Structure 1
């Protein structure tokens, strides 16, 4: 391997890829926790195989090949992660949800911005995009992420999959066609506003939600905005049904406080509802808010606060002010 390829230097170089590998594995698996485990397994395999790395391919390509194989092994069961929109049609906002569907593997939020911002392309870490990726066969999924998100060449992807360039290009075209068809049925990709616009909209949303100002919330929502509630399969589309939900089954959210954070490259909030004994506020949901133009296009309220709040650095409870 030469001096630059000494085992110590290569091992150090591998660790530098941890963040971007996490973003890759998250898109592949739809779960941040599983992505972290997959990256750790991939790096362990790479460290154990350093003596077999001959430098004939780039170190990045080599470690991505290992990470891809780890992900493909994890996806071998055939079960894919989903959002409520993938399971049923929208429902009326004034009706309570059915019991949680704990058997469903839900697409989960990713803390912070994109784990490897330098390799990000537009909407590539949005919840809706990650959920759409889960509809692709695993190898097509890997090919599309590697080519269209991470910038690998067709030759590099072919080498990674041990296939021909023509085969890699064919897989990419099929994957793009599948995603394009899904975008067509779900009204297309969101028009991403500037960071300053998103910041203002997020602040307005937090203020309106904390005041439970339905008029302001209605003004902020896109006419076809969606609200989903994992682990419940229930989801709503449109301002009237979201309004009916918030003023009906979810009326207990009145008086909530929102603590800002970031998820999937979008503003997010830890929602704390007033405790029953009146001594403060308790975790209720992690809200991930997505935008289209100057309106909110989607809200995903994840109820698994015991696991998600520590992951996002959110406090266990808030004291009364």
Structure 2
């Protein structure tokens, strides 16, 4: 079963939009599968595990609130506006490292299928429509296979897929990331070089900082906010490059070397179109990153 961990985690993550919950769902799937025992009469092992994982996710989604990105919660803020009251972790689409959800050997599944914006769109679907869209359009299952998993007809699957596509269409496209852009961003970020940071942004770029519902749109508003920021943790900070949600990301450590945020970027050609600064150090273990960059204190005796 272990060989299916990454793809099952990716499936559960698309369903739940939270990395910790996805890992919990896969662990519960393996526990249930081990207790039940597998035999060939249940069909292919992979399909059987997906059926168990689907039921686990559907159970977890009962009564759960819809997760979102800040840009989906309300209009953009004006420069100088307050951040607002923080929302609980369950309110947010949360980031996930690529190596836990994308198998490099899998040439079928697109990295775009774990982009934050697509996950947020999936959240608008009823759970079973979400299952159908992910299995059919992302993982390329046949309609008959999905029908068997859900215990329904191919006609019902096709109908559900049409409704789901109207809400959350999936059009995979591979995006080339400009490494020079990322290098310039890191340098400007750590030096709090506002001119360069703003120059790297797309005209309609957005920035947000969960758990706060505050977000900004446009270079002018982002510039004004950066120019009036006080107590910024960016100067002399450390950014550790990561890959998350099918794109570039960074583990942001404050000037004292303490875990501060996971930053995810969306880029288009040579510009940054979105930054999301996830202000939750509890995400660092999920990304296999230490909570501090400081050397451990050595004691004698």
TM-score (norm 2): 0.89
Query: Cα deviation per residue 1:64-89 (whole Å; 9 max; x = unaligned)?
Result: 11100100000011412111112111
Structure 1 residue ranges, 4+ long, deviating more than 4 angstroms after superposition: 189-192
Match of 1:88 among 74, 79, 88: 74
Give yes or no for contact 1:21–1:39 (8 Å, CA) kept in 2: yes
Structure 1: runs of 5+ lacking an equivalent: 1-13, 184-188, 275-279
Q: Name the counterpart of 1:21.
A: 8
2:180 aligned with 1:193 = no
Give yes or no for contact 1:94–1:241 (8 Å, CA) kept in 2: no
Match of 1:228 among 197, 205, 208: 208
2:270 aligned with 1:294 = yes
Give yes or no for contact 2:266–2:275 (8 Å, CA) kept in 1: yes
Q: Name the counterpart of 1:71.
A: 57
Query: Cα deviation per residue 1:146-182 (whole Å; 9 max; x = unaligned)?
Result: 11111111000000011100100111111111114xx
Mapping for residues 113-124 of structure 1, pairs under 5 Å: 113=99, 114-117=101-104, 118=106, 119-124=108-113
2:144 aligned with 1:155 = yes
Superposed CA RMSD in Å reads 2.2
Of 139-148 and 111-120, the range deviating more from structure 2: 111-120
| Aligned-partner SS, 1:123 | helix
For the residues of structure 1 that align with 2:36 and 2:72, how far apart are their CA atoms?
Answer: 40
Give yes or no for contact 2:65–2:90 (8 Å, CA) kept in 1: no
Change (3 A) 1:269 1:138: same
Deviation (angstroms), 1:309: 1.7
TM-score (norm 1): 0.84
Q: Name the counterpart of 1:177.
A: 166
Deviation (angstroms), 1:111: 1.6
Change (3 A) 1:292 1:55: farther
Deviation (angstroms), 1:314: 2.6
Deviation (angstroms), 1:200: 2.3
